Structure 1
């Protein structure tokens, strides 16, 4: 079991419409599994700081993964390796999402959370036609440290700190309403940052919170010295690390504590 050093810890209930990122981590990781998508070899659990492309959902990942035990270039996110057969999401109360190994039909499909293409594993509602990447489907609905809450919103009225737009995709918004960030924008920042950090699998600079993510959060807090605003920014920073972690497939706070310490020093 992996336990975060952050004060925010994960508790996700598949069929509970009030999943909250708080208090406990009950995720069980098996050391070795068999998987239908790679029948020839076992997959072993490992943790790596190097980026990888998930062979299930075809999206970027980092941190916890299942990798081929026979050294094939085959990797799966935790959510893709051990998916829930079905799940419900509070944004779509009439939908029942089923896990599929590939998108249905022949037309291009897009994730309703991040609006990016769906090219592999997904959760699909046959009744409504909605699609979710496995990692997007498992984004925590609420971040709560007992003082400040941040909520995952389907739409927000405030502009995203990254792109300056209000629409586009799901966002995390702080209770102080000074901070919001699209899930899609976090994904873009992560991809851009790690493309700059790694060339042909070689690390060019230290891994950690992507520089673009740091810059966006710091700019949102610049000039605000009040204790309440500072607290809000600290928690917003933790929200970003959770979004980054969840989007990349490791919602147990992959980048735990780094953003909090960064903002507390600012």
Structure 2
């Protein structure tokens, strides 16, 4: 698919937006979520949109919700706070909403790939969690990615929380020890895993390696650019 280098967007009618590839995290002015990689930007106004937000069609369908028709809204419809059914996070900006079924999806969540490949294994997007999440140790609501061997599951919401913790520490310029403490939590996930694999240290270490790899590739997809390069860049925010 060929992408326009410049475009007009109704959310920012003052100027054209130019496509730009960035390795620096940004906050999308459309959906208000984090992003990285390809974006559309107005330099004069410091205005950014995810590719998925800038090019969002007015109507979409999703294979998880076969009876739904999702319409694009520039702000959440109705008087009550909306929650994305994929990541379980509040909706503050652009959203896809099904009026009939009352489901909501962030544009980037609506575009999450069905399958992610971290180079060693595949992770498949699942509507319902049938096994415990490596990060929170529970099942809960929201989508998840699950390995093809069915042994490793991560909630999309949990990966977003890990990302927010790390970037918040960096953005707030906390002391280096605090940043290191938060970043160390991201790949290890040892607390929840030890409780589920007690007495099997080798498997816990193996889970840690897989979880770290999964987090990097899943974060890259959540941020709107599921590529190997972005996965490697995101890895820089995660302790080795």
Give the TM interval when normalised to the shorter protein: 0.7 to 0.9
1:180/1:87 CA distance change after superposition, 3 Å: same
After TM superposition, give the deviation of residue 174 of structure 1 in Å.
Answer: 1.0
Question: Of Structure 1 and Structure 2, which has the larger fraction of its residues in helix?
Answer: 2
What is the deviation of 1:29? 3.3
Give structure 2 stretches of 5+ with no counterpart.
195-199
Q: TM-score, normalised by structure 1?
A: 0.73
List runs of 5+ in structure 1 lacking aligned partners: 1-25
SS in 2 for 1:34: strand
User: Could you tell me whether the CA contact under 8 Å between 1:174 and 1:236 is conserved in 2?
Assistant: no
Map of 2:42 onto structure 1: 68
* TM-score, normalising length: structure 2: 0.80
Structure-1 residue corresponding to 2:90: 117
Q: Displacement, 1:255?
A: 1.6
Q: Please show how residues 48-59 of structure 1 align to structure 2 within 5 Å.
A: 48-59=22-33
Judge conservation of contact 1:148–1:235 (CA < 8 Å) in 2: no
In structure 2, C-alpha distance between the alignment counterparts of 1:101 and 1:91, rounded to whole Å: 23
Aligned-residue CA RMSD (Å):
3.5
Q: Secondary structure at the match of 1:143?
A: strand
Determine if contact 1:151/1:173 at 8 Å carries over to the other structure.
Answer: yes
Distance apart, 1:235 and its partner CA = 6.5
Are 1:191 and 2:164 matched, yes or no? yes
**1:81 aligns to what?**
54
Bigger relative contact order, structure 1 or 2, given CA contacts below 8 A and separation 6+? 1
The counterpart of 2:126, out of the listed 153, 174, 183, is 153
2:224 to 204, 226, 249: 249
Q: Going by fraction, where is strand more abundant, 1 or 2?
A: 2
* Inter-CA distance 31–187: structure 2 relative to 1 (3 Å threshold): same
Residues 35-92 of structure 1 show CA distances to partners (whole Å, capped at 9, x for unaligned) of: 111111111122223322211001122232211132x121111111111222211211
Q: Structure 1 runs of 4+ off > 6 angstroms?
A: 232-235
